Structure 1
Amino acid sequence: MAGDKAGEDNDRHAGLEPFHSDSYDHGTWDNDLDLSPEIDWEKPPVYELVGSGNKMSTTVVAQGDLLTSEKLPTPIPSQLQQKPYTIPNISNSKSPCLNIVIQIVGSRGDVQPFLALGCELQVAGHRVRVATHDIFREFVTESGLEFFPIGGDPSSLMAYMVKNPGIIPKFETIMSGEISQKRKMVYRMLEGCWRSCIEPDSETNVPFVAEVIIANPPSFAHVHCAQALGIPLHLMFTMPWSPTRAFPHPLANIERTDADLRTTNYLSYGLVEMMTWQGLSDIINGWRRKSLSLDPVPMTMGPLIAETLQIPFTYCWSPAFVAKPQDWGNYIDVCGFFFRGEPTYTPDDELDNFLRSGPPPVYIGFGSIVMDDAENMTAILLGAVRACGVRAIISRGWSKLGTGQQDPNILFLGDCPHEWLFKHVSCVVHHGGAGTTACGLLNGRPTTIVPFFGDQAFWGQMIAAARAGPHPIHHRSLNKKNLAEAIQYCLTPEAVNAAADISRKMKAENGVRAAAHSFYSNLPVDAMQCDLLPDEPAVWLYTKSKSKKPLKLSDKAAFILAEHKKIDPKHFKLYQPKPITIENLRWDPVSASTSVLLGVMFNFTVGFSEVFTSPAKAFQSKERGGGGKEAAITFGKGFAKMVGVLPKATLVDFPLALTEGLHHMPRLYGEEVRNHGQVKDWKSGGVVAGKTFGYGFVDGISGTIIKPYKGAKEGGWAGFGKGLGKGVMGLVTGPGAGMFGLFAYPFLGMYKSMAPSASLSPTQRKILLARQVYGSYMARQREYSAQEEGERWDEGTSTLVLEAFERKKANQG
């Protein structure tokens, strides 16, 4: 009868009972912050130590091979390629008002652009929650946006990045144990990002459930939270993160090789993603299992999720300054810098008197950068300013520059909005944060970049290419002489005119508005709208009969129908407007089948070891009673794990790996392949098998004629040869995938049909509870509002919903 009890429990939770925001057991949920015991926090990164004694350093294993060939499988998006994740809003339908959570990891400069975007979305009627580090609470709330803390210490992150500016930490960092601390911080931030999607406001206790996620890539939780909730995701960032041949990944720091420069640029993105995933995969997958009840991300998919799914991406820089690369797909937009409205600011007497007492000063500041030797940096800055014979304003920043220093021509300044200050200076010298760079250029100020890490050197190179400043000077190479020369160049007519030209072009743009348009145009609006109230987001699915089309309902529509007893709430299910499926990415049959064999051997070995080790541990444990019983249970589990992998590997995994490896193999040489759909059950398994078989033979045979012809038309005899090679390869891969697919896909469908799906996972129960709490809260708010106005609750809306519901019933017969 346990199954009956579970079914009753699911039906009860699927209803719209009057939950209250205080229904949350915050104490229980807080226990989720416990770090997963399955994760080895001391696990060293996959790097190779080079040198000896005090000259030890770290490097990437096999880095040379990766940079001199195209072995790294990073998909190249085509301008015309279909978007597997994004369903563009072709009809230009107006988006319903949504709960939007913006997840940001980084410094103040990373947070600030999203405040401007959040205000733009809020004006359009959306509820916007900014989820970021606790230290930015006041910064966010002063903008009129909702704040949610995700943990993490940005000053610690900045100090770490200054010491380890690339993706490979230094030997001293590894030996100090700092890697373990940062890995734990990442886990807590992942958990904080997930809580920001479903927990009430920490101060007002107002419920919240995210209906869309906007995030910057370093928040890492974004795609996984979106998968758990089945909601749209949109990535936005201030630095290049999508593979392109136009310029390298800002974090790669790759020395030039004999390989083609454009190829090296392109491969650098895959290298950074691969190294990042190697360092965080166990943390992310452990968190996915524990907090999201999701399967681990396959190793082949981990570094390439965003590109493979083609998640919409908006870059927050001026296309007039750095144009969109030609090899970026149509799901990627470059919209312009995000500028907030200029804050009201009145300078204090000291700053006002300094600005009035002489010619416009040079601005120097490094913002959130935390330096090891602020005293030495101060001495360099003072020496360069005096050598140039100019006045200067030096921002103290997080490093507290200028402590104890006094000079009548130099003002050491605390917080002051750049939007106001940069109008009153001659040129700017800073670390190259995207926001500070944008503000300087918008005001037409020549710029010198002193990069520390990340995208800062990239912005310095772009400024130098535009002749609006000198080449960037890395902070470790900075001295009085080269800084003085850089400042002097910034004061030349050439630099002033170049900066003014960029400023004119930027002032013609509206990055925030363009980004909002990019966001709306990539929303699957039709899938998100309630079938009865199109202005409301659909969050419930009413599925009383399998023969009838399910009804997408908003909280309001569902409440009205349930209140008037038109539908039974037990038939409600959570609706996912944008489900995400993360599957193994196959590139060729050899590597695909090999990875399956290795996985089977690993699982078999783990099970085999548990057959012996787990019972022994059970007998040795003094804390447990009945060691014999515990030993028998653990023996059974180990034996089941050892033997259980073989049937699935033989009937499903291995044939599927061969099929998909053959099917996707043409992608290795730049060809696109057909998408035959997903296998969800035995029925769809047969459909996909039929399509793979039919198209495999048709495309394989026709390709031997079409591909040589197209190749000859585009490249003469050389193109004919390439086309012939592709055609012959397709004659092998297409029919081969079709033959194996006749066996693989039906078995995969049967396996998925037999997989248990009736009961809700712990995460699904949390989402359901959060959704019910939010719906109940919104119903009470509408009722209170109507009572204050002396009117019957939502009478007009109720009539509209009931009439629309009756029409739907009539149309469905």
Structure 2
Amino acid sequence: MEGPQPPRYSMLEAAGWPRDSSFQDGAKVKDDGRIEVDLDSKLCKTVSKLIPKVHEEPSAPPPPPILSLGDTCELQLNIVIQVVGSRGDVQPFIALGNELQLHGHRVRLATHGVFKNFVLESGLEFYPIGGDPSELMAYMVKNPGLIPGMKTLRSGEIQRKRAMVAEMLQGCWYSCISDDPSTQVPFVADAIIANPPSFAHIHCAQALSIPLHLMFTMPWSSTRAFPHPLANLKYSDTEPKMANYLSYGIVEWMTWQGLGDVINEWRASLDLEPIPATEGPCLTETLKVPFTYCWSPSLMPKPLDWPSNIDVCGFFFRSLPDYTPVPELDLFLRSGSRPVYIGFGSIVIDDPVAMTQMVLQAVRALGVRAIISRGWSKLGDVEASSDDQILYLDDCPHEWLFQHVAAVVHHGGAGTTACGLRFGKATTIIPFFGDQLFWGNMVASCGLGPKPIPYQSLTTENLAEAIRFCLQPAAQSAAYNVANRMGGECGVSTAVASFHRNLPVKDMQCDILHSEPAVWRLKKKTKSPIRLSKLAAEILIQHHRFKISDLQPYETRSVFIQNRRWDPVTGTASSLLGTSTDILKATGDIVYRPYEEFRRVPKGQSQLVPPETSCSRSSSITSTTDAVSLAPSSRSSSKLKATGAAMEGSAKSLGKAVGFCYKGMLIDMPLAVTEGLRAVPRLYGDEVRDHGDVRGWKSGATFAGKNFVHGMVDGFSDVVTQPYKGGQKDGAKGVAIGIAKGTLGMTTKISSAALGLVAYPAHGMMKSLYTVTHSKTRKLVIQARIQEGKYLVEHSVKSQENRQSAIRKFETAYRKPVDAASLSSG
């Protein structure tokens, strides 16, 4: 029987992407896991228009940021590190977490439950986010690109992966505000560090209004220096550097098409507005989120066009473990020449038996000794015995083992690759998916090993040839030289310095206790607004300086996601499309929700009969008889309840459809036209004035006023200034162009100014209404911060040390003067 149809990708279909093809028009997944991106296709040309225009590449490298390793951050923060991936993805962040602890931060690592002991044994706090990394690895081996094949879609496997992503998104949110699962100590994050595949990072940061810092092992930021590691470019009329740049945006768009609805549905549970389809893919770049890449700059320096908020800091290494090898391993290492290490770590291979035979044949053909790591695929039969040439190994720290081998063969995970290079080992990489091919090409380009051999292309012959290459003196010498250069880098320390440099420390600092981050703002009962930490606020509340109701949440770094418009035509079209989609969905729910309610009505008499208990047989029969006699009325009651719920659901859906219609026609589309008109000058190279963000009715009215004044003034002045500027630059031709620009500018700016008087205040009022009606998450965060403040006062050593100084400083510097009458009444 044919499986279920794959989900619709409406935007892709609208761009001409056939639903029944395996994404053949514009992009398809190659055998090596990369996405073949055809920039000449209709789809990619459509998507390319939605990617923000890039500025010219600088001719000289920008000055490097000042990252002083001796500097420390005065603030002591609660930091949650969110990581999705394998053990190799988690391990670098353990090193990072330990380094952050040295600076006085409290660090929680949130990742998959299977890594609990690994994290706790390193001295970090742990929080499980759900998800099965072994299942993720098996899925990625079958679908090495970001886009699944049709076979995977029909099997339902993609739906299970989407459900797992939804689980991990929720787990990441809980990791920001939940008590420690083991000790029950309260925890509310003051900052987030994450790898991009965790996906929840920017949304959690928005809900909490706290800083976010991304860190990763492969390029994820748009650059003209090289294409996205997961993209195999094909083009004819696109400039190569521009093609490289576009590849990042296109890969992001493909990812968002598969997960955007999952993310928006989860955002709704956090009281966050949905992200527009045009903003979701490149959100972190648009918001200029700080990014640190953890690879050695001696292998690949920072590209010239990466801005100052992006750093390349070096590999993240843990301290060398205190490890004593098992007797079998110790004996094997002392019994002959240095062996070759062969292992694929967390990769789950479909046919581990065939892989084992291939490895054994290659090793025996060369006559070398080898250590074969079983890994998650369990290479080698369980009963397979080691001998003088082959040793099967279960678990051993790479930091110890790689010091005792001649070369390494592995899947190309960033952590394993870095560890091999750290100890000067020539490397053969067998990539399966993700960044592994990127690291394989990097190793080969530096002469540290042969070209990577994709897993699907691996044979006994090319594996043996690759190992032979690694044992050559040239490869060994190149690896040794790289290890020497890497020895002078302090990747983890430099990354922590990058994290501290990008923190808004002055904005985060509590005005009473300077080492504490502020989470509250006190406006009443003080001469001026005062920022307070959880600890400082609770100390002052307990000493009756004010009440908890006098405090307001303080936004350390607010995240504002703007639905940008490029011109009035596309702006209006996209707004109309979005409104139509919402109305159609709500209209469908008018029928679908009653159907769902009636499906829940119990069917059959057996469902109404209670299970048999330990009572006597006769009482059991009596109970059964009673249940049968009551079954019709119970069933009728269930139907009545279902009917009521169905009518209620249908009515709500009808109300939503009407609401979407009015909102679209009266607010969204007028706003889209206004914003599109305001953005037109940007199309011919002019700057568009920044009037701030519309967050509520007050800022909406302010924005409208500024836009009206500047729109009128600039619109009329453009008629004169644009021809003058054009003439100065290009003579008569420039004057003609200037007249056209001036006429267009006057039309669009004056129109935007007039329409904005209605559109922006209405938009602000909707924002205010949304904030008032969606306060569940905000109240949850407030309560969590109150609970942590109480815990800190009761259990923290700092509370005893700072209690008197906090009260004294508050009284002298911030307390409002009071008259005698109020003192006597108090």
Scaled by the length of structure 2, the TM-score of the pair is 0.82
Shift of 1:397: 1.3
Contact persistence 1:89–1:525 (CA under 8 A): no
Q: 1:49 aligned to 2:26?
A: no
Which residue is 2:219 aligned to?
240
Q: 1:450 aligned to 2:464?
A: no
Give, in whole Å, the separation in 1 of the partners of 2:431 and 2:818: 63
Choose 601-610 or 313-322, whichever is displaced more. 601-610
Which residue is 1:196 aligned to?
175
For the residue of structure 2 that corresponds to 1:746, the secondary structure is: helix
Which residue is 2:84 aligned to?
105
Give the 3 Å change call, closer, same or farther, for CA 429–812 of structure 1 in structure 2.
farther
What letter matches 1:802 in structure 2?
R
Give, in whole Å, the separation in 1 of the partners of 2:259 and 2:247: 18
Which residue is 2:694 aligned to?
679
Shift of 1:282: 2.0
Give, in whole Å, the separation in 1 of the partners of 2:169 and 2:89: 17
What letter matches 1:472 in structure 2?
P
For the residue of structure 1 that corresponds to 2:80, the secondary structure is: strand
Give, in whole Å, the separation in 2 of the partners of 1:718 and 1:251: 45
Pairs within 5 Å for 1:160-171: 160-171=139-150
Give, in whole Å, the separation in 2 of the partners of 1:419 and 1:811: 63
What letter matches 1:744 in structure 2?
A
Shift of 1:343: 0.6
Which residue is 1:807 aligned to?
813
Give the 3 Å change call, closer, same or farther, for CA 725–61 of structure 1 in structure 2.
farther
What letter matches 1:676 in structure 2?
H
Shift of 1:691: 3.5
Choose 258-267 or 102-111, whichever is displaced more. 258-267
Which residue is 1:659 aligned to?
674
What letter matches 2:359 in structure 1?
L
Shift of 1:779: 1.2
Give the 3 Å change call, closer, same or farther, for CA 62–476 of structure 1 in structure 2.
closer
Give the 3 Å change call, closer, same or farther, for CA 367–688 of structure 1 in structure 2.
same
Give, in whole Å, the separation in 1 of the partners of 2:653 and 2:355: 60
Q: 1:476 aligned to 2:456?
A: yes
Give, in whole Å, the separation in 1 of the partners of 2:54 and 2:505: 24
Give, in whole Å, the separation in 1 of the partners of 2:537 and 2:148: 53
1:597 to 570, 576, 585: 576
1:704 to 716, 719, 722: 722
Contact persistence 1:72–1:270 (CA under 8 A): no
Percent identity over the alignment is 51
What letter matches 1:249 in structure 2?
H
Contact persistence 1:337–1:511 (CA under 8 A): yes
Shift of 1:674: 3.8
Pairs within 5 Å for 1:332-731: 332-403=310-381, 404=384, 406-544=386-524, 549-606=528-585, 623=638, 625=640, 637-665=652-680, 673-696=688-711, 698=714, 701=718, 704=722
Give the 3 Å change call, closer, same or farther, for CA 723–531 of structure 1 in structure 2.
farther
Contact persistence 1:703–1:731 (CA under 8 A): no
Which residue is 1:33 aligned to?
none
For the residue of structure 1 that corresponds to 2:354, the secondary structure is: helix
Contact persistence 2:296–2:315 (CA under 8 A): yes
Give, in whole Å, the separation in 2 of the partners of 1:710 and 1:407: 84
Give, in whole Å, the separation in 2 of the partners of 1:255 and 1:111: 34
Contact persistence 2:38–2:44 (CA under 8 A): no
Contact persistence 1:162–1:370 (CA under 8 A): yes
Shift of 1:309: 0.8
CA-to-aligned-CA distance 1:604-632 (integer Å, 9 cap, x gap):
44555666777899899863538997777
2:106 to 127, 134, 142: 127
For the residue of structure 2 that corresponds to 1:539, the secondary structure is: strand
CA-to-aligned-CA distance 1:642-679 (integer Å, 9 cap, x gap):
43334433442222212222334566678764432012
CA-to-aligned-CA distance 1:680-711 (integer Å, 9 cap, x gap):
33442233234334555549838736975898
Which residue is 1:21 aligned to?
none
Shift of 1:97: 0.8
Which residue is 1:84 aligned to?
none
Give, in whole Å, the separation in 1 of the partners of 2:436 and 2:544: 60
Q: 1:765 aligned to 2:779?
A: yes
Which residue is 2:789 aligned to?
775
Contact persistence 1:68–1:257 (CA under 8 A): no
Q: 1:276 aligned to 2:258?
A: no
Shift of 1:769: 2.2
Contact persistence 1:707–1:724 (CA under 8 A): no
For the residue of structure 2 that corresponds to 1:347, the secondary structure is: coil
Pairs within 5 Å for 1:300-339: 300-339=278-317
For the residue of structure 2 that corresponds to 1:602, the secondary structure is: helix
Give the 3 Å change call, closer, same or farther, for CA 444–695 of structure 1 in structure 2.
farther
Contact persistence 1:166–1:253 (CA under 8 A): no
For the residue of structure 2 that corresponds to 1:302, the secondary structure is: coil
Give the 3 Å change call, closer, same or farther, for CA 392–656 of structure 1 in structure 2.
same
Choose 607-616 or 248-257, whichever is displaced more. 607-616
Instruction: Count matched residues.
Output: 749
What letter matches 1:330 in structure 2?
S
What letter matches 1:276 in structure 2?
T
Give, in whole Å, the separation in 2 of the partners of 1:655 and 1:505: 59
Shift of 1:444: 1.6
Shift of 1:321: 0.8
CA-to-aligned-CA distance 1:448-507 (integer Å, 9 cap, x gap):
111000000011111122122221111111112222222222223332232223222211
Contact persistence 1:397–1:414 (CA under 8 A): yes
For the residue of structure 1 that corresponds to 2:467, the secondary structure is: helix
Give the 3 Å change call, closer, same or farther, for CA 395–231 of structure 1 in structure 2.
same
CA-to-aligned-CA distance 1:340-381 (integer Å, 9 cap, x gap):
101111222322232223332222211111111112222222
Give, in whole Å, the separation in 2 of the partners of 1:504 and 1:759: 59
Give, in whole Å, the separation in 2 of the partners of 1:484 and 1:62: 35
Greater length-normalized contact order (CA 8 Å, ≥ 6 residues apart) = 1
Give the 3 Å change call, closer, same or farther, for CA 795–442 of structure 1 in structure 2.
closer
Give the 3 Å change call, closer, same or farther, for CA 744–405 of structure 1 in structure 2.
same
What letter matches 2:360 in structure 1?
L
Contact persistence 2:57–2:305 (CA under 8 A): no
Give the 3 Å change call, closer, same or farther, for CA 774–614 of structure 1 in structure 2.
closer
For the residue of structure 2 that corresponds to 1:298, the secondary structure is: coil
Give the 3 Å change call, closer, same or farther, for CA 681–728 of structure 1 in structure 2.
same
Give, in whole Å, the separation in 2 of the partners of 1:667 and 1:469: 48
Choose 698-707 or 96-105, whichever is displaced more. 698-707
Give, in whole Å, the separation in 2 of the partners of 1:706 and 1:418: 68
CA RMSD, aligned part only?
Answer: 3.7
Give the 3 Å change call, closer, same or farther, for CA 800–78 of structure 1 in structure 2.
farther
Give the 3 Å change call, closer, same or farther, for CA 684–118 of structure 1 in structure 2.
same
For the residue of structure 2 that corresponds to 1:625, the secondary structure is: helix
For the residue of structure 1 that corresponds to 2:640, the secondary structure is: coil
Q: 1:748 aligned to 2:763?
A: yes
Contact persistence 1:76–1:327 (CA under 8 A): no
Give, in whole Å, the separation in 2 of the partners of 1:153 and 1:227: 26
Q: 1:211 aligned to 2:229?
A: no
Q: Structure 1: 5+ residue runs without aligned partners? A: 1-39, 82-87, 787-792
What letter matches 1:778 in structure 2?
L
Give the 3 Å change call, closer, same or farther, for CA 705–418 of structure 1 in structure 2.
farther
Contact persistence 1:190–1:221 (CA under 8 A): yes
Contact persistence 2:37–2:231 (CA under 8 A): no
CA-to-aligned-CA distance 1:567-587 (integer Å, 9 cap, x gap):
122212232211212232322
Q: 1:156 aligned to 2:135?
A: yes
Scaled by the length of structure 1, the TM-score of the pair is 0.83
